[in-house]
Amino acid sequence: MNLVALEITALAVAVGIGKSSWWWGGGTFIGCAMVLAIPGLNTLFAVALSAAWAGVGFAIGMAVNQSGANYVIAAIAGLASLG
């Protein structure tokens, strides 16, 4: 399983749990799969997912409360999600 499929699955699970609905989770999964099939949107979607992971890394770095950890973790998470 490649990284994009794992990201889509994690996003669909998070939305499904957040909305407490299998319909929302399944719809998110199918919608993301459809976006990946469209040539122009798949690049924008990949960049958006990378930015989201960088935001998560920044939040984790803020929770660590060390000098510069938020920027380093955000950069690593963002670059790792790009592949």
Give residue-wise pLDDT tens across range 7-18: 899 999 999 999
Domain borders along the chain are 1-37, 40-83
How many CB atoms sit inside 10 A of residue 77's CB?
21
- pLDDT value of residue 77: 87
Put simply, whether the predicted model's pTM sits higher than 0.85 gets the answer no
Render pLDDT for 24-79 as a digit per residue (tens, 0 to 9).
999 999 999 999 899 999 889 988 988 998 998 899 988 988 888 889 989 998 88
20-57 b/e with 16+ CB inside 10 Å = b? eeeeebeebbeebeebeeeeeeeeebbeebbeebbeeb
pLDDT reading at 83 higher than 80: no
Per-residue confidence (pLDDT) for residue 67, from 0 to 100: 83
